[in-house]
Structure 1
Amino acid sequence: MMSPNQFPETRGSSHSATIRRTPLQIIHIIGNFMRVWSIYSMYRYLTQTGASVLLFIFSCLVPSSILFLVLQKPWKGRPLSNTQVVPSVINGGITALYFILWGKGLQSCGPLRLILAEYSGAVLGVLSGVLYGRRGHIWKKVGGLSAMLASFYFLSQGWAMATHSPFSFSDDPGTEVYTEEGLGIRNILFPVLAGVLSALRRVITRRVSLKNQLKRRLHAITIASATCFLFPVAMWDMIIGSTDVKLPFSAWTFSSTILFGIILIFYVESIAEERLHMVFSSPRHLMVAAGCIIVMEIVYKMDFSLLGFLICAGILGFGIYEATSLDHIRKDSLQNSDLSGAVFEDQIQTSPLPT
C-alpha cells in the first residue's frame, strides 16, 4: 500500500525537476527563435538579390562542415566502425537531398509554410506505427494523419496569408504579397518531402549512434558528406541555373544561417531530445515554432493572417498529437508523461523494419 507521505515527495520531486528543466526550455526557445530568424533573413536576402538558393546553402554548408569537424574531431577517440561510418555517409546523401528540397520549398512557399511543413516528418512515424507497429487505436492514428494532411492543404491554399485567407477581410498595402505561383499543392510538396527526409535522417542517426558523443561525431561526418554530395548540384545550378549566378555577401545572413540555422540548432535539438524528451515533430515543439513565426511575420511585415495561421497550426498540432500519442490510459501510468505527446521517432525506432 502506498504511504501518505509518498504523494508530497512525488510532488516535490516533480517541482524540482520542472525547475531544473526551465533553463533548458529557455535555451530551446531561444535556439529555435534564432533559427527561425535566420530563415526569414535568408528568404529576404534571396528575394532581394535573386541569388541561387542552392548555391547559398552550399556556401553555408562548407564552413559549417569544417566547424563541425573541428569541434567533434571524428578521427580522434575510439575508432568508428564501418557499420557506423557508412550509414552516416549515406545519411549525408539524404541530408543533401533534404537541403535541395528545403531550398526549393523556401523559394516556392516562403518561410511560414516551409517551417510548418517540416513537421510532416510525423507522417513517417504514423505510417510506421500503422504498418509495422501496434494495431490499437488505428482510427485515431488515421484521423490524426487526416488532420495533418488537411492542415497542409489549407496552407497550400494560402490560409495563413492575408491576401488569400478566408478569414482576412482587409488588405494592408505595407505587406509583402506572394505571387500565385506560391500557391497550390504542388508547391508545398517540396517542403513536405523535405520534412519527411529530415525525419528519416534523424531516425538513421538514432539507429547508428548509441551515445551522445558518438552521435555528435557521426553528425560531423554526415554534414561533411552532405556538403560533398551537394557540391555538383550547386555547381550545376550556378552554371545553367535560371537564377543570378552572383552571390552578394551579407554578413548577418550568412553568419546567422551558419551559426543558428545549421550548427547551434543541432546542439539545441540534441539537448531538447536528451534532457527534455522533446522530439522535433511534437506538439510542444510546434508550439514553440509557431510563436517564433508569429513574431517574425510581424517584424518582417509579411503577408500574414494570424487567424488563418492559428487554425492551420492548431489543426496540425492536433493531428500530430492524436496520431503519435500513446494510449491515454497508458499515459497516466507512465513515469515521464513528456514522452507520450511526441514519440513518432520512437515508434519508428521500436517498430520492426520491413524485410
Structure 2
Amino acid sequence: MMSPRQIPEDRGSSPHFRHTPVQIIHIIGNFLRIWSIYSLYRYLSETGASVVLFLFTCLIPASILFLILQKPWKGRPLSNTQVVPSIINGGITALYFVLWGKGLKSCGPLRAILAEYSGAVLGVLSGVLYGRKGHIWKKVGGLIAMVASFYFLSQGWAMESYSPFSFKDSLDDEVQTEQLLGIKEMVLPIFAGILSALRRVIARRVSLKNQLKRRLNAITIASATCFLFPVAMWDMIIGSPSSTSDKVPFSTWAFLSTILFGVILIFYVDSIAEERLHMVFSSPRHLMVAGGCIIVMEIVYNMDFSLPGFLICCLILGFGIYEATSLERGRKDSFQTSDLSNGMLGDETQMSSLPT
C-alpha cells in the first residue's frame, strides 16, 4: 500500500511531467519558425525579390486565416478601448515586418533572429522608471552586455571566416560566406526587435484573457496588412533595379512556411508558452531554444558558421537579458509564490507585467 508520504511527492513532480509536452511543442514550433526564416532568407538572397511585397503577400492569407479561426466579430462585443489599441498595434506590427525583413536580407538569419531579443531593452526602461537604484545598475549592466553581444555579432564572431576562434586558414568553396557587417547595419533588426517587444506589451495590456488576446491578435494582423498595403504597392510600382526575381521561379515553400510557421503557428506556440510555461519571448530560456535551432539550421544550410563564437555571443546576450529583466523576473516569482499558496496561478496577469 502506498505510504502517505509518497502522495505529496508524486503530486509535486506531476507539474514537470505535465509541462513536458508543452515544452516539446514550444521547441518544435520555434524550430519550424526558424526553418521558415532560413528558407525566406535563401529565397530573398537568390532572387533579389522585394522584401516588403513578399511579406505583404504572406500577411494577406495569414490575416484571413486568423479572422476565420478567431472570428473577432462573434461573442462578447469588443470595446473601443480594446479595438483602437489593437489597430494602432497593427501599424507597429507592419513597421516591424518591414524593418525585420530588410534586416534579414542584409544581415542574414542568424543575426536577424538574435537581434529580436533586443526587446529586453524595454526591461531596462521599466527599471529606470519604476525600479530601485540597485535594479537600475543591474539593468544598465545587462544593456551593456547586450550591446557587446550585438557588436561581436556584427564583427563576424559567429562566422567561421571572421571569427577570432577559427583555426581554419581557408573555407570550403561550397560554404555560403556572409559579408562582414558593422554595428550600423544591425540597427534595422535591433530596432525591429524593440518594436516586436512593444507590440507584445501592448497586446498584453489590452487583453488579459486568452481568448480575448487571440481575437484582438486577428484584428492586429488584419490592420497590419492594411497598413502595409500602400507601402507594398509603392514598392511594386517603383520596383527594384537589382531585382532578378523574374529569372527565378517563385518559392512555394518559402511562401507557405512563412505564413504557417512564421506568422500563425508561432503566435499560438508563444501564447501557450506564456500561459503554461510562464516563458516570455525575450528571456534566456527562449534564447536557449532558439540558439539550438539556429545551430541545426546553420549546419543544414551549410552556412559560414563558427560554433565557439556563436556560443560566446549567445552567453553574453543571455546574461544581458537576464540582468535587464531582473526586476520583472522578481515580480513574476513573487506572483507565482503568492498564487501557489492560494492554489492557483494568474497567468495572464503575471505575463502582462513582464517585458516580452
- The TM-score normalised by the length of structure 1 is 0.89
2:11 aligned partner, one-letter code: S
Partner of 2:86: 88
Tell me the matched-pair count: 339
Equivalent residues of 1:124, 1:196 under 8 A apart: yes
Equivalent positions of 1:163-242 (< 5 A) are: 163-170=161-168, 171-173=170-172, 174-180=174-180, 183-242=181-240
- 8 Å CA contact 1:33–1:292 kept in 2: the answer is yes
Output one character per residue of 1:244-299: Cα deviation in whole Å (capped at 9) or x when no partner: 28474222111111000000000000000011100000000000000000000000
Contact 2:47-2:244 at 8 Å conserved across structures? no
Which residue matches 2:10? 12
Shift, 1:90, TM fit? 0.2
Unaligned 5+ residue runs, structure 2?
Answer: none
Matched residue type, 1:238: M
The answer on whether the counterparts of 1:282 and 1:321 sit within 8 Å (CA) in structure 2 is yes
What SS is found at the alignment partner of 1:75? Answer: coil
1:202, distance to aligned residue in structure 2 (A):
0.4
Answer whether contact 2:135 2:326 (CA < 8 A) is retained: no
CA distance in 2, matches of 1:35, 1:331: 27
Distance 1:186 1:308 in 2: 20
Report the counterpart of residue 284 of structure 1 in structure 2: 285
Per-residue deviation, 1:323: 2.3
Match of 1:140 in 2: 138
Separation of aligned partners in 2, 1:264 and 1:63: 13
Q: What is the deviation of 1:331? A: 8.8
Judge which range, 208-217 or 286-295, deviates more. 208-217
Partner Cα distance (2:102, 2:236) in 1: 15
Instruction: Report % sequence identity.
Output: 74
* RMSD across aligned positions (CA): 2.5
What amino acid does structure 1 have at the position aligned with 2:353?
A: D
**Alignment correspondent of 2:320:** 319
Q: Structure 2 CA distance, aligned partners of 1:344 and 1:320?
A: 16
How far did residue 209 of structure 1 move?
0.7
User: How do residues 1-355 of structure 1 correspond to structure 2 at under 5 angstroms?
Assistant: 11-170=9-168, 171-173=170-172, 174-180=174-180, 183-242=181-240, 243-244=242-243, 246=245, 248-326=249-327, 335=337, 346-347=353-354
Does the 8 A contact of 2:159 with 2:309 survive in 1?
Answer: yes
Alpha-carbon distance between aligned partners in 1 of 2:8 and 2:127, rounded to the nearest angstrom: 33
Question: Quick check: 1:324–1:344 contact (8 Å CA) kept in 2?
Answer: no
* In structure 2, distance between residues paired with 1:109 and 1:64: 25
- CA distance in 1 between counterparts of 2:239 and 2:65 reads 29
C-alpha change, 1:164 and 1:277, in structure 2 (3 Å) is: same
Give the conservation status (yes or no) of the 8 Å contact 1:106–1:191: yes
TM-score (norm 2): 0.89
Contact 2:37–2:109 (CA<8 Å) still a contact in 1? yes
Distance 1:164 1:87, change over 3 A: same
Does the Cα contact within 8 Å between 1:239 and 1:245 map onto a contact in 2? no
2: CA distance between counterparts of 1:65 and 1:327? 32
1:332 deviates by: 8.2
Distance in 2 between residues matched to 1:221 and 1:31, nearest whole Å? 23
Q: Deviations over 1:120-175 (max 9, x none)?
A: 00011122122233433332222111111110111111111111111112132221
Residue deviations 1:85-115 (CA, integer Å, cap 9, x gap): 1000000000000001101110110000000
Conserved in 1, the CA contact under 8 Å of 2:127 and 2:136?
Answer: no
- Report if the CA contact (8 A) 2:197-2:355 is conserved: no
Which blocks of at least 5 consecutive residues in structure 1 are unaligned? 350-355
CA contact (8 A) 1:74 1:217 kept: yes
Q: CA deviation at 1:240?
A: 1.7
Shift of 1:319: 1.1
Distance of 2:280 and 2:193 partners within structure 1: 14
Amino acid at match of 2:93: T
> Quick one: distance in 2 between partners of 1:18 and 1:295?
26
Question: For the residues of structure 2 that align with 1:328 and 1:126, how far apart are their CA atoms?
Answer: 12
1 CA distance for matches of 2:43 and 2:330? 49
- The 2-side partners of 1:138 and 1:184 are apart by 29
- Measured in 2, the distance between the counterparts of 1:146 and 1:10 equals 44
Contact 2:142 2:319 in 1 (8 A): yes
Q: Which amino acid aligns with 2:224?
A: A
Is the Cα contact below 8 Å between 2:36 and 2:261 reproduced in 1?
yes
Q: Secondary structure at the match of 2:133?
A: coil
Return the letter of the residue paired with 2:171: D
